[in-house]
Amino acid sequence: MGEFRFFSAGESHGPGLTAHVEGLPAGLEVSETYIRQDLARRQKGYGRGRRQQIETDYAKITSGVRHGLTIGGPVSMFIENRDFSTGKGPDGVLWTDEMSIEPSDVPYEKITKLRPGHADTPGIVKYSQDDARNILERSSARESAARVAAGALARTFLKQFDIEIFSHVSALGDVESHADINEIDWSAVESSQLRCADSEAETKMIQEIDSAKEEGDSLGGVFEIIAYNLPIGLGSHTQWDKKLSSRLAGSVMSINAVKGVEFGAGFKQARMRGSAVHDVIRPIQEWSNDGKTKFNKPWPRRSNNSGGLEGGMTTGEPLIVRAMVKPIATIMNALETVDLRTGEKVEKAHYERSDITFVPTCAVIGESMVMMVIADAILEKFGGDHINETTTNLANYLESAGPRG
Ligand SMILES: Cc1cc2nc3c(=O)[nH]c(=O)nc-3n(C[C@H](O)[C@H](O)[C@H](O)COP(=O)(O)O)c2cc1C
């Protein structure tokens, strides 16, 4: 990200997380209450652990906003880890001691039974540590709360252009949702326990979670994101790192546990003929507004197998991104491993409080990453130090986007 920039800091059981966002133009109305809605969406989901009930995340804005409007400088936010002040680690030591920033005399247990599927093993070697907590604390997906807070700022920005982003869970374990992404009732998804648009599939998913829980196991799945109203031509074909497709794939892949990303018809295209894959371009007269896209599309398509991306640029059709998340690595019935102190085999890896599954949450984090990349691409193309400048530039561009005689 070059124009809209996001960084996070903070540990899972430290005092809290910091989100730092740069690039938002001045004059944008932002509110902590609005950000909180996305943070709450991140915490929902059947199969998530006790911590989600403890934490009711709130991002306190600490810079870049005055009287409810951005002033053009970096916006930083602090999200407290509510567990920090009173909670204890699995060794019974208070987090305030275990995670003390100053040196502490309070004895605590080091984590040495390395957890397969986590950053523990490469992390302790690379950073020369003798306690896997020094790796685990930062590699934990608690960090994703900072992403979601920053994503809510991106959402606020994108709303100025009527760009809307939604997500749903399309598979959990081996249960698939049969919902068609173009037909989904998004308010129903918001009230569903698993962000699933197919209620029959959702019932089966819940059974699958209960069964995995009983067996001390975990589940992964697939989530899908759709963005409406993107102007044609975001991103660029001219350089590998300017392609919106690679920027989107990289940012979604950066979410913990995501192991694959595809667009539109995705991997299925490999088994199809070209004539069935590529999205025929229609003359504007043939196009009728489906009600989901606000501005007239100059180059409408008969299908959207590309997922709204050609040559690393948006086509003006809805952007469709799908991602696969592996099953959670910390399983109650912990896997065999080695002890870092001895190098010898131990029957069970360290167990730290864990979810059974987290796919609905991953979908919300995925929305945040996609929104930040789109915000970045909008700023790259349309610039603007004040939001009115950005909206005017975009409107002028769209005027020139049609047939050119
Ligand atoms: C929202 C979210 C929650 C997660 N919760 C857990 C969890 O409770 N237990 C666990 O073992 N992994 C959890 N993970 C996954 C790990 O953070 C991740 O697998 C690990 O850091 C290793 O990174 P990698 O899978 O990307 O290689 C979660 C991931 C996300 C996105």
CA–CA distance, 155 with 368 (Å, rounded to integer): 8
Q: What is the 353 CA–ligand 1 centroid distance (Å)?
A: 12
DSSP state of 339: B
Q: 228: buried, middle or exposed (CB in 10 Å: 19+, 13-18, 0-12)?
A: middle
Which residue's CA is the nearest one to ligand 1's atom 9? Answer: 354
- For the chain, the domains span 5-399
**Given this model, what pLDDT does residue 300 score?**
87
Of all helices (H) and strands (E), which one includes residue 259?
A: strand 258-263
The one-letter code for the residue type at 35 is I
**Domain 5-399 CATH (choose: 3.90.870.10, 3.60.150.10, 3.40.50.2300, 3.40.50.1860):** 3.60.150.10
Residue 379 alpha carbon to ligand 1 centre in Å: 31
**CA–CA separation, 40 vs 251, rounded Å?**
22
For ligand 1, the distance from its centroid to the CA atom of residue 329, given in whole angstroms, is 7
- 8 Å CB contact between 70 and 26: yes
Lowest-confidence region among 55-64, 157-166, 293-302, 383-392: 293-302
* Model pLDDT for residues 355-373, shown as the tens digit of each residue: 899 999 999 999 999 999 9
Inter-CA distances, 28 with 148, 231, 295, Å:
18, 20, 22
Ligand 1 atom, smallest distance to 118 CA: 22
| DSSP letter, residue 33 | H
Q: Is the C-beta atom of 139 inside 6 A of ligand 1?
A: yes
**CA 257 to ligand 1 center in whole angstroms:** 5
Above 70 in pLDDT, residue 50?
no
Q: Give 297 Cα–ligand 1 centroid separation in angstroms.
A: 39
The H or E element containing residue 106 is none
Atom of ligand 1 nearest to the CA of 331: 11
Closest CA to 210 of 267, 258, 248, 172: 172
Dig out the tokens for 55 from the structure.
């934490």
The Cα–Cα gap between 268 and 224 comes to: 15
- pLDDT value of position 296: 57
**Is pLDDT of 176 > 70?**
yes
- The answer to whether the CB of 328 is under 6 A from ligand 1 is yes
Q: Using 50, 70 and 90 to split pLDDT, how confident is the model at 208?
A: very high
Closest-CA residue, ligand 1 atom 12, reads 328
Q: Is residue 136 a contact partner of residue 165, using CB atoms and an 8 Å limit?
A: no
Query: Model confidence at 387, in pLDDT bands (50, 70, 90)?
Result: very high
Ligand 1 in reach of 329 Cβ (< 6 A): yes
The confidence score (pLDDT) of residue 1 equals: 73
Neighbours of 105 (CB within 10 A): 6
Count the neighbouring beta carbons within 10 Å of the beta carbon of residue 161: 22
The fraction of the chain above a pLDDT of 70, given in percent, is 95
Average pLDDT over residues 95-111: 96
Alpha-carbon dihedral 64, 70, 73, 78, rounded to 10 degrees: 30
59-63: strand order across its sheet:
5-10, 16-22, 75-80, 59-63
**pLDDT per position as a tens digit, 73-86:** 999 999 999 999 99
Q: What is the DSSP letter of 192?
A: S
Nearest Cα residue to atom 7 of ligand 1:
354
Centre of ligand 1 from the C-alpha of residue 358, in Å: 8
Is residue 368 within 6 Å of ligand 1 at its C-beta? no
pLDDT given for residue 299 in this prediction: 86
User: Which protein residue's CA is at the shortest distance from atom 28 of ligand 1?
Assistant: 141
pLDDT of 247 over the 90 cut: yes
Partners of 339 in beta bridges = 113
**With helix as H, strand as E and coil as C, how does 38-65 read?**
HHHHHHCCCCCCCHHHHCCCCEEEEECE
Strand partners, 262: 322
- For the segment 290-303, what is each residue's pLDDT rounded down to a tens digit? 655 555 567 889 99
Q: Supply the pLDDT for residue 289.
A: 59
* Range from 4-13, 344-353, 371-380 carrying the lowest mean pLDDT: 344-353
Q: Is 361 in the pocket of ligand 1 (CB under 6 A)?
A: yes
319-325 vs 337-338, strand pairing mode:
unpaired
Place of tokens 């209960």: 210
**pLDDT score at 26:** 98
Q: Ligand 1: which residue has its CA nearest to atom 2?
A: 141
Q: What's the pLDDT at 403?
A: 81
pLDDT of residue 285: 65
Q: Are 81 and 17 in contact (CB under 8 A)?
A: yes
pLDDT at residue 51 greater than cutoff 60: no
141 Cβ inside 6 Å of ligand 1: yes
Which of ligand 1's atoms lies nearest the C-alpha of 255? 31
pLDDT, mean of residues 2-15: 96
Per-residue model confidence as pLDDT tens digits over 302-358:
999 999 999 999 999 999 999 999 999 998 888 999 999 999 999 999 887 788 999
Closest listed residue to residue 127, CA positions, set 139, 115, 142, 116:
139
pLDDT given for residue 352 in this prediction: 78
